[in-house]
Amino acid sequence: MSPNRYMVLVKFKSQELADEFYINYNGTQFNSIEPNICHLVYVAQVDFRKESEGGAVPIPGLIELPNCPVCLERMDESVDGILTILCNHAFHGNCLKKWGDTSCPVCRYSQTPEESGENSCFECDSTESLWICLICGHVGCGRYVEGHAYRHFAKTNHTYSMQLSTGRVWDYVGDNYVHRLIQNKEDGKLVEMDERSQRVNDEKLDSLTLEYTYLLTSQLESQRRYFEERITAVELECADKIAKTEHRLDSMVDLKATEGQDIQTLQKSKEYFEKKCEQLSTQYKKVLNQLQEEQAMNRSLLNNQQHWQSAVQRLEEDKQKQEKELKDTQEQLRDILFHLEAQNKLSSENTGLDAKELEDGQISVGASSTPQSRRRSRRKK
């Protein structure tokens, strides 16, 4: 292996997890600054050998040197000074000096933040006595306002918080200010510097080193418990959601089966009603044709009825006219018979009247005679 590379052996619980890890991280960069690419391979077997059998172990006391994010060169303390800033990123002193900005070249965290109107507490939107967590960047108000910064520490166990207005760092575990923390070049541990940037004596340094080692250990342990609790809560929540989803899925499957049966029943009912509708439609068309035929027949009968009514009316008029003519004819015939009868009677009685007297004679008709009889007598004269 080259000095700037290292190898890690990772064991997974299942083949699916190994495949997912391989798909997500093989051939990807470790970060956006370093050009190194992660290469993954499957390991079928691992053999362990003792030192007596030719096995080798890492040399104790040697560690791999990190790269400077600015110049990408190895950060060797014997060649150039190393400076670790508040966000725990380390750089060459000259590289960070040339950066020309107060923000971190990696995470853009401002090393000298100033309180402004844009900064406010994440919970209560207060702009007074603001403190920022140096681990996650949470901004909260001081304990003399609403105490959200301290509540954040109590919830997450993030120990260090910096006041935005003064830039001073507060240690919630030690309950005091930590003026400046730097990294010791000998062992890489955090040590405290006084206000004149001079290192404290060895005895105090040992006590501080022991204290900070304990604090960092407790911090990491609390962080481990915190994230384990979070993972457990998330797993329980996911399990609950999965159970609810499975229950809802089973309900939906049962509902789908019931709806399938209902659909089949409705399909059969649909087919039955379609056939019934076709039959009714056929009957309707048949009845409609019969109705049209009957209406045509009724119109024809109505026309015939009107024609025959006209004919009957004409016949009745002709009948009345004929009856009137017949009546007149009967009256004329009776007058003629009466005239002949009178003439015969006069001839048989032989009254000695000559023809001239008879012609000049006059016949008197009683009162019971009708006006038509008088008209006939006039005609006889």
pLDDT at residue 158 in the model:
82
- Whether the CA torsion 202, 203, 206, 207 is positive or negative: it is negative
- Residue whose tokens read 């105490």: 147
In 3D space, the residue among 141, 209, 134 whose CA is nearest the CA of residue 169 turns out to be 134
pLDDT at residue 238 in the model:
92
Q: Which residues lie closer than 8 Å to 380 by C-beta, 6 or more apart?
A: 335, 339, 363
pLDDT at residue 60 in the model:
62
Looking at the DSSP bridge assignments, the partners of residue 183 are 190
Instruction: Tell me the average confidence (pLDDT) per consecutive run of 10 residues in the chain, 381 residues long.
Output: 65 89 87 79 81 64 75 74 76 78 73 60 84 82 87 84 78 72 49 48 61 68 80 91 91 88 89 91 91 90 88 89 89 86 75 56 52 48 44
Task: Tell me, yes or no, if the pTM score tops 0.75.
Answer: no
pLDDT at residue 190 in the model:
47
Three-state secondary structure readout of the chain? CCCCCCCCCCCCCCHHHHHHHHHHHCCCECCCCCCCECCCCCCCCCCCCCHHHCCCCCCCCCCCCCECCCCCCECCCCCCCEEECCCCCEEEHHHHHHHCCCECCCCCCECCCCCCCCCCCCCCCCCCCEEEECCCCCEEECCCCCCHHHHHHHHHCCCEEEECCCCCEEECCCCEEECCEEECCCCCCEEEECCCCCECCHHHHHHHHHHHHHHHHHHHHHHHHHHHHHHHHHHHHHHHHHHHHHHHHHHHHHHHHHHHHHHHHHHHHHHHHHHHHHHHHHHHHHHHHHHHHHHHHHHHHHHHHHHHHHHHHHHHHHHHHHHHHHHHHHHHHHHHHHHHHHHHHHHHHCCCCCHHHHHHCCCCCCCCCCHHHHHHHHHHC
